[in-house]
């Protein structure tokens, strides 16, 4: 395809998507991350999957029928798996091993998930319920190995890929080497590594992502393997799409991760905070680490545009690490109420406790989509508190921090958490502040989990917070505030 034709197609697609959701629009959302193959089957069957390392039968049509379940939880955005046609492998259910990238039509889609009409119906179904639709996309690599590329489209020549001239003998990235050139030019676990310095490759990827956003109506993107490609490419890629994009930089070093926000994409997955939350709530390390990490987050361009999460498809679930739902509730409370765009990984609300991949990618249908579980109710309550009080519009102020207690406010909302878990001792702390700030004397605050039984009347200078048996609390203004 000529460069001019590609450029014209990109401009047309961008114009079509220019009115799509902005970064600021996304800040008020709560995202539900699902794996398309694991969320719902077309026929509604709930039998277990024989081998969760292979396709289990989830489809767009099945997921469309279960959008009310997501809405009941309170999530108003849905992140779905990559959509391209995959290499011929039963283990490609996740969607990260593409063989074909066509601009439209069924031929370029993963046939296991359903045709283009079903995908469009799924996105339209989200929009009909006031939800944003987020597409997971891959611009770093294709599937299979370099010997498979002859059957790919459109990247079927070795000229479309990096060679191994700057790589270890096996051509794979050695992440322990801390060599950024190697990260960008070498292969991720043997996957053919696209060369975005080739104009055709870069321009076609931009045209492709713009066509998916325009054709199906996606409101945002989750971008895979961001550090494996240079930053300028991602800026052009996101500009072509014309929507908010949150990128994966799988690294806990804030100094490494932060430059990718703005340098590459407007949003990033909040991996440094993920590792801190896991250390604090799952491993019971000092809660003062939250204070340190949040202070260091000043390095980010826009903390409120980061995607905050506690579980995902690449890590063992929280409950696998610490099998204590009370501690998990505390972690979820912090995650949903702190700065950033919360991402709830499917199955969290059902207490899934799968270990490393693929065990953290369980089929949801075995739960029966129960909306009465303690975790479903807890997450729903926390999301409601976040949305009703629009906490993303308020600054976050630390109110107390020690080894086993952490509290912060967002406007007049107070969030108090502990990591002691279900068998832990009662935690009592005094929340103090300057006279006439945040909460006036006589203001009555109500705990959203027990709104009539647990209320606090503010006295001069502060009030006490009691946390029993590892519980977390969210106090919202009730009267006189």
Cα atoms in the 13 Å half-sphere on the side-chain side of 147: 0
Q: Tell me how far apart the alpha carbons of residues 216 and 237 are, in angstroms, rounded to a whole number.
A: 17
Distance of CA 470 to the CA centre of its chain: 26
392 annotated among ligand-binding-site residues: no
Can you spell out the DSSP letters for 347-408? TGGGT----STTTTS--GGGGTT-S-SHHHHHHHHHHHHHHHTTGGGS-EEEEEESSSEEEE
Q: Tell me how far apart the alpha carbons of residues 22 and 314 are, in angstroms, rounded to a whole number.
A: 27
Question: Cis ω on the peptide bond leading into residue 154 (within 30° of 0)?
Answer: yes
Q: Provide the token pair at 178.
A: 């801390």
Residue 194 bridge partners (DSSP): 161
| CA geometry: angle 142, 49, 348, nearest 5 deg | 80
Best CA proximity match to 364, nearest among 12, 11, 33: 33
Residue 187 bridge partners (DSSP): 172
End-to-end CA distance of the chain: 63
361 annotated among ligand-binding-site residues: yes
Are 196 and 139 within 8 A, CB to CB? Answer: yes
Residue position matching structure tokens 């999301």: 383
Q: Provide the token pair at 58.
A: 């989830």
CB-based contacts of 434, cutoff 8 Å, min separation 6: none
Residue 351 burial (10 A CB sphere; 0-12, 13-18, 19+) = middle
Which of the residues are catalytic?
A: 224, 248
Helix H, strand E, coil C: the string for 264-279 is CECEEECHHHHHHHHH
Sign, CA dihedral 180-182-187-188, equals: negative
Best CA proximity match to 52, nearest among 313, 250, 311: 313
Q: Tell me how far apart the alpha carbons of residues 472 and 296 are, in angstroms, rounded to a whole number.
A: 25
141 annotated among ligand-binding-site residues: yes
3-state secondary structure of 416: strand
97 annotated among ligand-binding-site residues: yes
242 annotated among ligand-binding-site residues: no
CB-based contacts of 144, cutoff 8 Å, min separation 6: 87, 89, 97, 99, 191, 192
Q: Tell me how far apart the alpha carbons of residues 213 and 391 are, in angstroms, rounded to a whole number.
A: 29
Q: Which residues are annotated as a binding site for substrate?
A: 97, 141, 222, 252, 314, 361
Q: Which residues are annotated as a binding site?
A: 97, 141, 222, 252, 314, 361
């Amino acid at each position: 395809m000529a460069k001019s034709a590609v450029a014209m197609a990109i401009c047309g697609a961008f114009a079509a998507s220019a009115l799509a959701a902005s970064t600021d629009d996304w800040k008020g959302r709560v995202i539900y991350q699902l794996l398309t193959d694991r969320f719902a089957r077309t026929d509604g069957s709930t039998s277990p999957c024989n081998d969760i390392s292979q396709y289990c039968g989830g489809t767009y049509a099945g997921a469309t029928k279960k959008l009310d379940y997501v809405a009941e939880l309170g999530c108003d955005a849905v992140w779905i798996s990559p959509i391209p046609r995959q290499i011929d492998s039963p283990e490609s259910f996740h969607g990260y091993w593409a063989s074909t990238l066509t601009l439209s039509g069924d031929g370029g889609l993963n046939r296991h998930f359903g045709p283009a009409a079903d995908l469009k119906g799924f996105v339209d179904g989200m929009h009909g319920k006031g939800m944003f639709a987020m597409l997971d996309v891959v611009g770093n690599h294709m599937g299979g190995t370099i010997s498979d590329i002859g059957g790919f489209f459109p990247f079927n020549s070795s000229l479309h890929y990096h060679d191994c001239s700057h790589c270890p003998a096996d051509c794979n990235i050695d992440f322990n080497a801390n060599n950024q050139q190697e990260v960008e030019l070498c292969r991720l676990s043997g996957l053919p590594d696209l060369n975005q310095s080739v104009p055709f490759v870069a321009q076609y990827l931009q045209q492709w992502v713009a066509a998916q956003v325009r054709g199906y109506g996606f409101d945002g993107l989750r971008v895979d393997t961001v550090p494996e490609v240079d930053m300028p490419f991602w800026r052009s890629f996101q500009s072509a799409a014309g929507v908010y994009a949150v990128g994966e930089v799988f690294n806990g070093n804030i100094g490494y991760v932060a430059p990718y926000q703005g340098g590459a994409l407007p949003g990033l997955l909040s991996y440094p905070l993920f590792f801190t939350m896991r250390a604090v709530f799952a491993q019971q390390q000092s809660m003062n680490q939250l204070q340190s990490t949040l202070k260091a987050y000043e390095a980010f361009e826009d903390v409120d545009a980061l995607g905050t999460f506690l579980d995902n498809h690449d890590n063992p679930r929280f409950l696998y690490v610490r099998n204590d739902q009370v501690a998990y509730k505390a972690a979820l409370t912090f995650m949903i109420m702190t700065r950033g765009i919360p991402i709830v990984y499917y199955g969290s609300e059902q207490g899934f406790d799968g270990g490393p991949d693929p065990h953290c990618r369980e089929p949801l249908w075995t739960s029966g989509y129960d909306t009465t579980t303690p975790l479903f109710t807890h997450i729903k309550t926390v999301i409601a508190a976040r949305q009703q009080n629009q906490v993303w519009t308020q600054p976050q102020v630390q109110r107390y921090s020690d080894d086993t207690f952490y509290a912060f406010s967002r406007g007049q909302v107070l969030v108090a958490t502990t990591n002691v878990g279900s068998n832990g001792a009662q935690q009592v702390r005094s929340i103090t502040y300057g006279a006439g700030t945040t909460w006036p004397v006589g203001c009555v605050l109500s705990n959203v989990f027990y709104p009539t039984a647990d209320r606090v009347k503010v006295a001069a200078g502060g009030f006490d917070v009691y946390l029993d048996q590892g519980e977390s609390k969210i106090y919202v203004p009730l009267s006189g505030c």
